Amino acid sequence: MTSQRGLGVAVIGTGKMGADHVRRLQEVVSGARVTAVVDIEADRAKSLADGIDGCTAYTEPAAALAAQDVDAVLIASPGPAHEAALIEALGRDLPVLCEKPMTPDTDSALRVLEAEQRLGRRRVQVGFMRRYDTDYAKLKRLLDSGELGRALMLHQRHRNLDMPPGFTDEMLISSSVSHEVDATRWLLGQEITAVTVHKPTPTSHAPTGMNDPQLILFETASGALVDVEIFGHCGYGYQVQAEAVCERGTVRIGDEPGPRVSAAGRWGGHIPADYIERFEDAYDREVQAWVDATRRGETTGPSTWDGYAASAVCEAGVLSQREGGRVEVGMVERPRFYE
Amino acid sequence: MTSQRGLGVAVIGTGKMGADHVRRLQEVVSGARVTAVVDIEADRAKSLADGIDGCTAYTEPAAALAAQDVDAVLIASPGPAHEAALIEALGRDLPVLCEKPMTPDTDSALRVLEAEQRLGRRRVQVGFMRRYDTDYAKLKRLLDSGELGRALMLHQRHRNLDMPPGFTDEMLISSSVSHEVDATRWLLGQEITAVTVHKPTPTSHAPTGMNDPQLILFETASGALVDVEIFGHCGYGYQVQAEAVCERGTVRIGDEPGPRVSAAGRWGGHIPADYIERFEDAYDREVQAWVDATRRGETTGPSTWDGYAASAVCEAGVLSQREGGRVEVGMVERPRFYE
Amino acid sequence: MTSQRGLGVAVIGTGKMGADHVRRLQEVVSGARVTAVVDIEADRAKSLADGIDGCTAYTEPAAALAAQDVDAVLIASPGPAHEAALIEALGRDLPVLCEKPMTPDTDSALRVLEAEQRLGRRRVQVGFMRRYDTDYAKLKRLLDSGELGRALMLHQRHRNLDMPPGFTDEMLISSSVSHEVDATRWLLGQEITAVTVHKPTPTSHAPTGMNDPQLILFETASGALVDVEIFGHCGYGYQVQAEAVCERGTVRIGDEPGPRVSAAGRWGGHIPADYIERFEDAYDREVQAWVDATRRGETTGPSTWDGYAASAVCEAGVLSQREGGRVEVGMVERPRFYE
Amino acid sequence: MTSQRGLGVAVIGTGKMGADHVRRLQEVVSGARVTAVVDIEADRAKSLADGIDGCTAYTEPAAALAAQDVDAVLIASPGPAHEAALIEALGRDLPVLCEKPMTPDTDSALRVLEAEQRLGRRRVQVGFMRRYDTDYAKLKRLLDSGELGRALMLHQRHRNLDMPPGFTDEMLISSSVSHEVDATRWLLGQEITAVTVHKPTPTSHAPTGMNDPQLILFETASGALVDVEIFGHCGYGYQVQAEAVCERGTVRIGDEPGPRVSAAGRWGGHIPADYIERFEDAYDREVQAWVDATRRGETTGPSTWDGYAASAVCEAGVLSQREGGRVEVGMVERPRFYE
């Protein structure tokens, strides 16, 4: 399927994230090149395609996916556009890397789940890129090794300098905490069964009416307890930390990295400004892993089921956020296909 | 009141903690000496007194407190014996340092509160020694400085290597988490208004039937949210950490102290075995501060009200632990006397 | 020069380092592919080439460099073979990434320097890969920013678990400390003018007769003082650290990275086993940067002059090691070509 | 000798250090009280004595030492006055805690050494208080345990925010590095046999003509190599660090302590402003240890020999500083009395 010239990738969506993936595929990742870019804004797609040898601009995903030089699809358009593109790609049996959230709700996620099962083999990798961060990967290996015993609790912190205008309480969960939802499920190897949201008096730096920060509790299938501090306007940088409390020890990631400066009465270091600075390497590894697996004819990484499960947990979270109290997560039974 | 020879202190209770305070008063603290030791086990008291010049053994607190060379009282007997000793000391207008818990329940705590108010001046310091730990004191100063803005959340960890036989779920709160109750109230300068206890599947290293670890949530009067991980059988050492999440920054204490060794493929350091190793300096400072204030004719530090409030919060915690869900803390109105 | 299929690279030398570069060019780096592998052991070259689409095996560098599908050369053969390959590549105006040491001594280094100058443009990048390590790059940026003022001293540590059999005192300098020689020159932007080697009583884990560890002092052109602890048999892992002492602050890199585990009475983390684990990302970035620059028609990174200067400093170091005392570094004047 | 009221101490010298020791003896240390203060400035001594119950002011050490209520002597006068006070105290068989430097040169140190030997028992403890710092004590215990094997190298850093006017190159060694001289001898349990001073181009923040910072190398009797960075005007705080390089591991103290703040794009903590903030606890422990040992009738801690040896090393250092090159340390043979 892949020519000697590398995997031909159609990138759907050429906003900030899409354009960054185009750059990554062209300049960082080995074994792939961008042969199509798709955006409803024709000019933006064209100007991006013009800079790349052998790349065509499209306004319709379907047209791009039908092109002969397209071997695989990277979806980075806005969430509501994902379902149609995913269904189209699955219809053509094309491998997909789909940015998170896979789709905006569980109903649409279920439709994708069913389409992939009809196809009869995994074709979709969902963009939960923390799994490709060096420290998260080491944490996962350590937990899986059994060296520290079973994980009893997981403490997570997710802090942003601030949020773009229009960011809502709901988006704190569906856009931000969804990363911790996936990290929790992946690290512990279990589904999340209930969510409880707690809201302290908000920071005065959040927009009026927004509850920021929040503390989100997850319960998992085997009874582990997980807390997530989500703080959208912490005001000082981007900080992501996790600590697993196990039967024989605890392990923490996300602590202070990089050069340590002593100056003016203080020692310490720099805090990344945003997720791009913090997780740039993870994005690189994620896309490289997808290209590598695709060239081997495989689909690995977070699955359509992971995309669906994240949706279901986030929906429960948003309900708890709105109504208060503990909300159980409703999910269809996991198809054997995804086991 | 105090002779030139230093404050004469009667130590009530000569178990592990009482004996340690006797040693501290004799060998570490400046300006005090032990003139009386009291224990219902007459032999134990006598053998301790024999080693100290000018110290008399008693089996009855009342007799010791009536002695002419007793200027102040340190209560380190079991909790149920505290109330009588406190009332006796207040009746004689003697300054007291009373180990925590002040009394075993809120009813008895209220009676002490009333006795002290009748006396008309503060005479009791309660032994919440974390306020005298260097790092806690720095955290308090930083929060009070306003440099980081208002505290929105507080994350606390309290881990023990293991617990003595007979330790119960209730004691996890009344004996262990009571430290975090006081730390929370002191650091944030607010009362705790509600408690919710969450229990993951317990570690297999806890006794059968014990829920260990637990995650305890506090809500405070101004809406701050506090979580406490209490873990009685973490299996690797004694670890106490706290992180305040404020409007303009976060601050963490309790991280890895001491020499850093690199050997055999690992870098890192030693974790204290128990609270004595971890908080030895805090105990020294606590008792020195009490002696110093007493010699100046003052009573400082955690008050009878702090002892009462800790009881009230712990009772709510034990109820949440038993019945599940959120439990509001019932407290009498704070007397102006304690403002 | 580069086809759309990416830069065609001939890799000379297929030992541990060469084979790793082949893998890197094929699987990690974007925009290049290996079209030729060269080794005097014909079988080894052939078996490596057989696994790569469009790659030919050679036993002679000259033959490989003459091939039409070779756009650039990566030299990873033993040091004594570098000069001939470099001269050959320069004769054909081919871009080169040459593993360190560029050549085994300053005489041969000078010949390469002259050959490149005759060619009239930079074509050679020398493989000092620390410049591509994230932390070293941040340190360099910080020093160049002037934020901390002029660097007065530089403390460096370079520790290896152990050394291969046959490793000598001389190699401690020419093979190991040569990295600190380049790091020093690059970080401070100055030549090293004198070297003094100090030797404590050696560790009992070094081979008899070997002086390990050693402390090497560099003086630089503007009077900065640099000390390097080189320890070939530290016995616990691979550890590289650097601290710059500047007029307004100090900055340290190489401290404890990765997950922090608390278990069995100790907190801490893992120490890498070797330079491959520690600097894998730096090698990836180095080769990617070389491929990128080459495709743009440029040569960047450490130059032939840097290779020559490192040789000159190491020769002085070896002399000080042998004879004791301070040895001045003898270097030709820096050609304007390399300014 | 000591009354029940505690050790009666004469404090000689009531400058900054002496006054601080008076406060410490009265308010911090257990088992001692200040019964005499001595200063040639009669008013200063009197005003200090007036605030202390049972304390007399003197202008002559000899008069104070003859007083009946003086059981022991703490010497905190300027260095040149130490010898006379020490000889006087030894003549009266009084226990002494003498601030460092014991005396200003080796000749006077030798006279004290001889006086103490004539007396026939140790009576003098020299004020090298780092031995009483928690981290130094842990480092010493670790080295002595043999867990890491023999120490091969010791890296030390000693940085001051700035220095008082009039501070000279010589004083960098005799007043500042003398602490590292003692720490080295104590930690390694060996004499220092040679000193070499290296001077980079000085910081522009030092007074004109002063060489600051400097790197001082010590060689020890068994061949360990020690480097000390002394930096008098680092400009950002007081920082003291040490790292021992042993046969089976390395160990580092003096790293970043206390609360870690994340704010305004940076994580980190506070650096102490001066030695008082950094070593306050060590001073407290030092004086308490001296009082305790004295009350037991013993003399422990750094001896007269340690005071003499530090002088001898510092003299060699000052010579190397002045003349350049390596200077061997000349010392009398160690009397069996001090083994």
**Does C205 lie at the interface with B, CB-CB under 8 angstroms?**
no
- Give Dmax (Cα) for chain D: 64
* Paired tokens of D78: 């300027």
> A263 vs C255: CB contact, 8 Å cut-off?
no
C139 in contact with A, Cβ within 8 Å: yes
* CA separation for the pair C25, C30 (Å, rounded): 8
Closest residue on chain C to B261 (Cα):
C268
Q: In angstroms, rounded to a whole number, what is the distance separating the alpha carbons of residues D157 and C155? A: 10
Say if CB C193 and CB C221 are below 8 A apart.
yes
Instruction: For residue range A99-108, list pLDDT tens digits in order.
Output: 999 999 999 9
Contact A236 D263 (CB under 8 A): yes
Query: What DSSP state is assigned to residue C92?
Result: T
Cβ separation B265–C239 shorter than 8 A: no
Rounded to the nearest angstrom, the minimum Cα separation between D231 and chain C is 9
Q: Please name the residue of chain A whose CA is at the shortest distance from the CA of residue C248.
A: A263
The DSSP output letter for A333 is: P
Whether residue C288 sits in one domain with residue C274: no
pTM of the model: 0.95
Residue-level pLDDT at D118: 96
B197/B227 same-domain check: yes
**CATH (domain of A313):** 3.30.360.10
- The verdict on D65 touching C (C-beta cutoff 8 Å) is no
Q: How far is CA A339 from CA A150, A189, A306, in A?
A: 21, 11, 11
- pLDDT-derived band at B4, boundaries 50, 70, 90: low
H helices present in chain C, as ranges:
16-27, 42-50, 61-66, 82-91, 106-119, 134-145, 169-171, 178-188, 275-295, 304-323
Average pLDDT, integer, range C132-161: 97
Q: Identify whether D197 is part of a domain.
A: yes
Q: Name the closest residue on chain C to residue A257, using Cα atoms.
A: C257
User: Between chains, do B267 and C271 touch, taking CB under 8 Å as contact?
Assistant: yes
| A55, A156: one domain | no
Q: Is D139 on the interface with B (CB under 8 A)?
A: yes
Chain B hits for C270, CB-CB cut-off 8 Å, are: 265-266
Provide the shortest C-alpha distance from residue B29 to chain D (in Å).
5
User: Same domain for D14 and D34?
Assistant: yes
Residue A3 banded pLDDT, cuts 50, 70, 90: very low
| Helices D106-119 & D82-91 angle (0-180, nearest 10) | 10
Structural domain contains residue C117: yes
Residue of A nearest to D260 (CA): A268
pLDDT of amino acid A258: 83
Helix (H, G, I), strand (E, B) or coil at C246: strand
Contacts of A29 (CB under 8 A, 6+ apart): A284, A287, A288, A291, C30
Shortest CB distance from B271 goes to which of C267, C269, C271?
C267
Does residue B221 lie within any of the structural domains? Answer: yes
| Cross-chain Cβ contact C260/B256 below 8 Å | yes
Residue B78 three-state SS: coil
Q: How far apart are CA C224 and CA C209, in angstroms?
A: 32
Closest by CA to A265, choosing from C285, B279, D161, B82, is D161
State chain B's mean pLDDT as an integer.
96
Mark whether B116 and B175 lie in a shared domain.
no
Cα distance from C28 to chain A (closest Cα, Å)? 5
C162 reaches A (C-beta below 8 A): no
- Whether residues D68 and D185 share a domain: the answer is no
| CA distance linking residue C308 with residue C111, whole number of Å | 10
Work out the average pLDDT over B141-169: 97
Q: Is the pLDDT of residue A8 over 70?
A: yes
Residue B223 above 50 pLDDT? Answer: yes
pLDDT at C4: 57
Are residues A150 and A109 both part of a single domain? no
The pLDDT tens digits of the residues spanning A132-149 come to 999 999 999 999 999 999
Residue D329 DSSP one-character state: P
Does one domain contain both C184 and C323?
A: yes
A22 CB within 8 Å of a chain B CB: no
Region C235-241: mean pLDDT is 96
User: Which run of H or of E encompasses B66?
Assistant: helix B61-66
Pick the range with the lowest mean pLDDT from A251-265, C98-112, C140-154, D19-33: A251-265
Q: Which domain holds residue B139?
A: 131-276+309-338
Q: What is the DSSP letter of D3?
A: B
Count how many Cα atoms sit within 13 Å of the Cα of residue C41 in the half-sphere of its side chain: 9
Share of chain A above pLDDT 70, in %: 99
- Report how far residue A6's alpha carbon sits from residue C3's, in angstroms, rounded to the nearest whole number: 13
Residue C3 has pLDDT above 80, yes or no: no
**How many separate domains does chain D show?**
2
Task: Looking at the structure, tell me whether residues A105 and A202 fall in a common domain.
Answer: no
User: Residue A32's beta-bridge partner residues?
Assistant: A7
pLDDT surpasses 60 at B1: no
Per-residue pLDDT tens over the stretch D1-45: 444 578 999 999 999 999 999 999 999 999 999 999 999 999 999
Same structural domain, A199 and A322: yes
- For chain C, say whether D266 makes contact (Cβ under 8 Å): no
- pLDDT, residue D1, reads 40
Orientation angle between helical segments B304-323 and B178-188, nearest 10 degrees: 120
Residues D121 and D156 in one domain: no
Inform me whether the pLDDT recorded for D103 exceeds 50.
Answer: yes
> ipTM score here?
0.94
Please state, in angstroms and rounded to a whole number, the distance separating the CA atoms of residues A306 and A130.
13
C5-20 residues labelled b (16+ CB within 10 A) or e (exposed):
bbbbbbbbbbeebbbb
Indicate which of D157, D261, D266 best probes the interface with A, i.e. most A CBs within 10 Å of its own CB. D266
Q: Which of C261, C265, C271 sits opposite B262 (nearest CB)?
A: C271
Is C1 contained in some domain?
no
**pLDDT interval class at A4 (50, 70, 90):** low
Subunits with 3+ C-beta pairs closer than 8 A to B = A, C, D
Q: How many CB pairs under 8 A join A and C?
A: 88
Tell me whether B280 touches chain A (CB under 8 Å).
no
> Does B2 reside within a domain?
no
Question: Contact B180/B158 with Cβ under 8 angstroms?
Answer: yes
Q: Across chain D, what does the average pLDDT equal?
A: 96
CATH number at residue B116: 3.40.50.720
- Average pLDDT of span C271-300: 96
CB–CB of D98/D125 below 8 Å?
yes
Confidence of residue C339 (pLDDT cuts 50, 70, 90): confident
pLDDT at residue A339 tops 70: yes
Burial of A166 (0-12, 13-18, 19+ CB in 10 A): exposed
Strands (E), chain D: 7-12, 32-38, 56-58, 72-75, 96-98, 124-126, 151-159, 192-198, 214-220, 225-231, 239-246, 250-253, 260-263, 266-270, 326-328
The CA distance from A176 to A157, in Å, is 11
pLDDT (mean) for D202-222: 97
Q: Within a domain: residue B1?
A: no
Whether residues A251 and C264 touch (CB distance < 8 A) is answered with no
Task: Please choose, from the candidates A152, C212, A317, D28, the residue with its C-alpha nearest in 3D space to the C-alpha of residue B32.
Answer: D28
- Chain D hits for A236, CB-CB cut-off 8 Å, are 262-266
CA distance A200 to chain D (A): 20
Chain A residue numbers with beta carbons less than 8 Å from the beta carbon of D264 are 236
Both B36 and B95 in one domain: the answer is yes
Encode pLDDT of A271-292 as tens digits: 999 999 999 999 999 999 999 9
Average pLDDT, chain C: 96
Partners of A225 on chain B (C-beta within 8 Å) are 198-200, 215
**Contacts with C296 (C-beta within 8 Å, 6 or more apart), sequence order:** none
Task: Choose the closest CB to B267 out of C263, C264, C268.
Answer: C268
Q: What is the mean pLDDT of chain A?
A: 96
**pLDDT surpasses 50 at B210:** yes
Can you tell me the mean pLDDT for A171-191?
Answer: 97
Q: How far, CA to CA in Å, does C232 sit from each of A241, C164, D149?
A: 35, 10, 16
Report how far residue C256's alpha carbon sits from residue C250's, in angstroms, rounded to the nearest whole number: 17
Tell me, yes or no, if D187 comes closer than 8 A to chain B by beta carbon. Answer: no
pLDDT value at position D339?
86
Mean pLDDT of B299-322: 98
Give the A window 231-260 contacts with D, CB below 8 Å. Answer: 235-237, 239, 256, 260
In a domain, D2, yes or no: no
Helical (H) or strand (E) element with D309: helix D304-323
In the predicted model, is pLDDT for residue C255 greater than 90? no
> Could you tell me the pLDDT band of residue B166, with boundaries at 50, 70 and 90?
very high
Q: Could you tell me the pLDDT band of residue D296, with boundaries at 50, 70 and 90?
A: very high
Question: How close, in Å, is residue A191 to chain B by CA atoms?
Answer: 15
